Structure 1
Amino acid sequence: MKLQCDVEVVNRLLPSYGMKSRGKGARAVVSIGKHLDKSSHRSIIYMMICTAKDRTGAKYKLKDNIEKFFSWFVEEGKATVRLKEPAVDICLSKADANSLKSFLAAARLADRGSDSSSLPLSTLTPVRARDVEQLKKKLTIMSKKDYPLTSNFPYSLEQLQVSYCKLSRVDMRMLSLKALCKLDLSNNHIKKLPATIGDLGCLSELVLHNNHLEAFSQALCLSTLQRTLRVLDISQNRLQSLPAQFCQLRELVNLKLDDNKLVCLPFHVGRLSKLRFLSAAHNQLTVLPCDFRKLSLENLDLFGNPFIHPNPLDHAMQLKFPLPLQEIASRAVADLRIPYGPHLIPAPLCQDLEVAKACQCGRICINFYIKTAVSMNLHQVSHTVVLVDDMGGTDAPVQQHFCSLSCYSEFLDNALQRGV
């Protein structure tokens, strides 16, 4: 039985001499095995701890020598074995939880003097230097020849960059790296993202710059990335749209969408309340969604998009007289601020309310409205704005919806008075 983990051996007598342990473990291989005792000529079961400083290992007898096990945090890969002689505590940490449980079970059996044939014993031999190296937290691979084909990625990785390796898909071995906080797969040929990226529970930064992505799946938007993802770079890909659920990634602070083929931004982009840096330059945006007004950014870059020149008289009318009952019901739920959900009102109404548009009068409209575009200075939503065009402008068209003819007429009257 062998276990790779961090180990600190604490002498319990140190405090009586006015001394403290250093409180830091060293990477080690801990083994349980038999060793021939020269004095008694009997095989005795020992626990052996090998570190980088002592690769030959220090041995501790196990039979009737364990005073107590401390295993409250075994699920976190931590445990302590208290020995009677010598008076030391063997503190184990940064271990695989399942391997640690098996190791402690074997140590208990050895302490009780169980038949050695029932124990998963190892040979007590010196370890290789690579077995006791410190955990690797960061790995950068910048060429195909350096890409690991026969060996796994170190499970302890927190940052992984794999670029210029011509990957056509995400290597599933990467998705078992549960401590991963940053994953950089820029400059590859990836066309599709597996939904299991959402299982990386610590992932806060995902960089996919310069790939061949054609879609960003709904499953990713509804995964644990909702709670962890702060930086997303999907610039220089082949995206034409983003799903409505994209705005569920509400922890996003920095979003890069440059050099795609986006014809629109998600309708509820204003729900990204923590977003501070947004760049969507060189896309196919002609108008911004009305929800864009709710953003509060530090830096905004929309340069190189074919924005239309807004004219209040150019409008699309999607009204019906009288309004359908479903539209009236949906508007009433919103106007009266009635709590709603699939368990309270019919599911179609819930779906309608998710795409509700706000009229300038304060009421909402769902599927029946008049739509036009109005000019907005982007400094209203961002402290710093990259020029929208070569003419030095910082204005862009934003969609405006009206719930009725009277609201649209009032808007036109005001626009004419301002000379728009």
Structure 2
Amino acid sequence: MWRDRAVVLLARSLSSRRSGAAAMKLQCEVEVISRMLPTFGMRNRGKGTRAVLSVGRQEEKGSRERGPIYLMICTLKDKAGSRYKLQANIENLFSKFLNEGKATIRLKEPAVDICLSKADASNLKNFISAVGLAHKGTDANPLPLSRLTPAKTSEIEKPRAKLIITCKRDYPLTKNFPYSLEHLQVSYCKLARVDMRMLCLKKLQKLDLSNNHIKKLPKTIGDLACLQELTLHSNFLESFEVALCNSTLRHSLKSLDLSENKLKALPVQFCNFKELVSLKLDGNELVQLPFAVGKLAKLRFLTATKNKLPYLPNSFKMLVLENLDLFGNPFVKANPMAPDIQLKVPLSLLETASRITLSYRIPYGPQLIPNNICQDLSVAKTCDCGGPCLSSFIQTIVVMNLHQVSRTVVLVDSMGGTEAPIVCYFCSLTCYSMFLDKYLQSTRV
């Protein structure tokens, strides 16, 4: 049965190939286990070796007939390769874990199990199919095979997962970055923009472009679906693209370092990074944090030292942090008794309808209401009572002890303070009066 499945699989994947193509190869880890070891009271070492496997022909000298089909295994210690006959020589193929990049080829002679692991699942399926067809013979189903040749060192070496470049002369100009990279650091190379070749690294999890001259991020950096850590400190960034906030990075990015740039503000959509755990904003020109920063529910480490923050947004009190550092910001002095009153009585029809829409969580979108109203709803303020308000509200600045949101707080100023001003909104005069009563009572105590 497995032979029939092998024929079908290979026919689908290799239907366009012919016998003149290169030998089929697979890069993976291999362990050749003799089934005779238990007889002699011995065990296999249980560890695979990086290798290149090929299915090809061994031509006989002076013969015009096609030679038998072999499986050749080449390692760094044995580049010439060990060969195992395949035709009518396979006892079983274990392919239950193909999707995990694992398979085992059990040969009749010699009595060995060839265990494959850490292979690309798609390539492994094709390779196992070819092995199955080789076992059957190729009279009716010619395989894309050629003569077996020793593997090159570059083919056997383990795919490179990490590359660190800290000097401009080491930066590759004529060749691509290895597609297997998971961690790439390019620092002190005076890059004025993000190299588009980096955006082809689909396995990339960590990207460090610190200490360069980058002014703008390309929207396509959001296509790096596996990216978890992005480091951009000490560049010349002046803005953060909204498109990145709506990209696949929303679901993958856990650490973001934007320190030592020229950022003055972050977009409202910045709070779409719901998986963010660590955020560094030190040494910029920020005059405010995103108003919905409290929606970053997984955020645990936040630093925003040496910016131009006069106060913190209302949603800041929703954060649950491990470490917080806001030193060196020109925080204003809180004065709850001097509110900024923008309350309109009676409320406009638009304000009333908007508050009801948000309070009852009525679905809305640009297909139902004008897009500008959708944007207003998305940035609605939250009253101290929990209700929403848009353009009609009372605003005031109060003091908050930062230990309310963080376990560890770095001193806000050289005077040893751990308090910072936070803006508060009230949807009505009643809500503001209730707050004021509580505030006056607390000050008397």
For the structure 1 residues 75 and 166, does the alpha-carbon distance in structure 2 shift closer, same or farther, using more than 3 Å as the test?
farther
- Which residue of structure 2 lines up, in the alignment, with residue 219 of structure 1? 243
Structure 1: state its 5+ residue gaps: none
Shift of 1:118: 4.8
Q: Determine the C-alpha separation between the residues in 1 that align with 2:187 and 2:219.
A: 21
Provide the rounded CA distance (Å) in 2 between the counterparts of 1:116 and 1:344. Answer: 59
8 Å Cα contact 1:359/1:401 also seen in 2: yes
| Cα separation, partners in 2 of 1:258 and 1:136, compared to 1, 3 Å | same
Q: Secondary structure at the match of 1:36?
A: coil
Counterpart residue number, 2:58: 35
What residue in structure 2 maps to residue 6 of structure 1?
Answer: 29
Give the equivalent residue in structure 1 for 2:286. Answer: 262
Q: What whole-Å deviation, never above 9, does each CA across 1:161-196 have from its counterpart, x for those lacking one?
A: 111112222233333333332221111122222333
Query: 1:282 Cα shift?
Result: 1.2
* Residue identity matched to 2:334: P
- Name the residue aligned to 2:300: 276
CA distance in structure 1 between the partners assigned to 2:254 and 2:282 by the alignment: 17
The count of residues paired between Structure 1 and Structure 2 equals: 419
Q: Distance in 2 between matches of 1:367 and 1:205?
A: 37
1:174 counterpart residue number: 198
Q: 1:368 to 1:71 in 2, by over 3 A?
A: farther
| CA distance in structure 2 between the aligned counterparts of 1:392 and 1:345, rounded to whole angstroms | 52
Q: Is the 8 A contact 1:7 1:25 kept in 2?
A: yes
Q: More deviation in 135-144 or 278-287?
A: 135-144
Unaligned runs of 5+ in 2: 1-22
> 2 CA distance for matches of 1:317 and 1:346?
28
Determine if contact 1:68/1:81 at 8 Å carries over to the other structure: yes
Q: Counterpart of 1:110?
A: 134
Contact 2:310-2:330 within 8 A present in 1 as well: yes
1:40-96 CA-to-partner distances (Å, cap 9, x unmatched) read 996222221100121110011222333444445445444433333323333333334
2:232 corresponds to which of 208, 227, 234:
208
Contact 2:331 2:421 in 1 (8 A): yes
Inter-partner Cα distance in structure 2 for 1:121 and 1:334: 66
How far did residue 303 of structure 1 move? 1.5
DSSP-derived class of the 2:58 partner: strand
Q: Which residue of 2 aligns with 1:305?
A: 329
**Aligned-partner Cα distance in 2 for 1:111–1:80:** 14
The 3-state SS of whatever aligns with 2:53 is: strand
The code of the aligned residue for 1:8 comes to E
- Please tell me whether the aligned partners of residues 49 and 58 of structure 1 are also in contact (alpha carbons under 8 angstroms): yes
Instruction: Tell me what 2:155 maps to.
Output: 131
Residue 395 of structure 2 aligns to a residue whose secondary structure is strand
Aligned match of 2:411: 387
Aligned residue identity for 2:30 = V
Q: Structure 1 residue aligned with 2:314, among 290, 293, 311?
A: 290
Query: How far apart, CA to CA, are the structure 1 residues paired with 2:51 and 2:189?
Result: 33
Given the two structures, how large is their TM-score scaled by the length of structure 1?
A: 0.88
Deviates more, 1:90-99 or 1:384-393: 90-99
How much identity, in percent, do the aligned residues show? 60
Q: Is the 8 A contact 1:340 1:350 kept in 2?
A: no
Residue 10 of structure 2 is matched in structure 1 by none
Contact 1:31 1:122 in 2 (8 A): no
Alpha-carbon shift at residue 19 of structure 1 (Å): 4.3
Moved segments of 4+, more than 6 Å: 38-41
Task: Give me the whole-angstrom Cα distance separating, in 1, the residues matched to 2:56 and 2:289.
Answer: 62
Establish whether residue 25 from structure 1 lines up as the match of residue 48 from structure 2: yes
Provide, for residues 310-332 of structure 1, a one-character-per-residue CA deviation record: whole Å limited to 9, x for no partner.
Answer: 22244333222221223223323
Q: Please list the CA deviations of residues 250-286 of structure 1 after superposition, one character each: whole Å capped at 9, or x if unmatched.
A: 2222110011121111111111122221111111211
| Aligned equivalent of 1:198 | 222
What displacement does 1:245 show? 1.9
Which of 207, 212, 223 is the aligned partner of 1:188? Answer: 212
Name 2:87's counterpart in structure 1.
63
Q: Residue type of the partner of 2:31? A: E
- Between the aligned partners of 1:11 and 1:198, the Cα distance in structure 2 is 48
| Cα separation, 1, equivalents of 2:39 and 2:206 | 45
Distance across 1 between alignment mates of 2:103 and 2:190: 43
1:170 and 1:190 in contact (8 A); partners too: yes
User: What is the TM-score of this pair, normalised by structure 2?
Assistant: 0.83
The change in CA–CA distance for 1:174 and 1:94 in structure 2 (over 3 A counts) is farther
Amino acid at match of 2:58: H
Amino acid in structure 2 at the alignment position of 1:298: E
CA gap 1:50/1:321 in 2 versus in 1, 3 angstroms: same
Aligned-partner Cα distance in 2 for 1:76–1:174: 27
Of 336, 339, 343, 1:315 maps to 339
Partner of 2:179: 155
- The alignment partner of 1:327 has SS state of helix
Q: Which one-letter code corresponds to 1:363 in the other structure?
A: G
Contact conserved, 1:236 with 1:257, CA < 8 A, in 2? yes
Task: State how far apart, in whole Å, the 2-side matches of 1:176 and 1:328 are.
Answer: 49
Cα distance in 1, alignment partners of residues 107 and 62 from structure 2: 22
**For each residue in 1:123-146, what CA deviation from the matched residue of structure 2 results, as whole angstroms up to 9, or x when unmatched?**
423233343223333221111111
3-state secondary structure, aligned to 1:396? strand
In the aligned structure 2, how far is the partner of 1:192 from the partner of 1:338?
37
Aligned twin of 2:252: 228
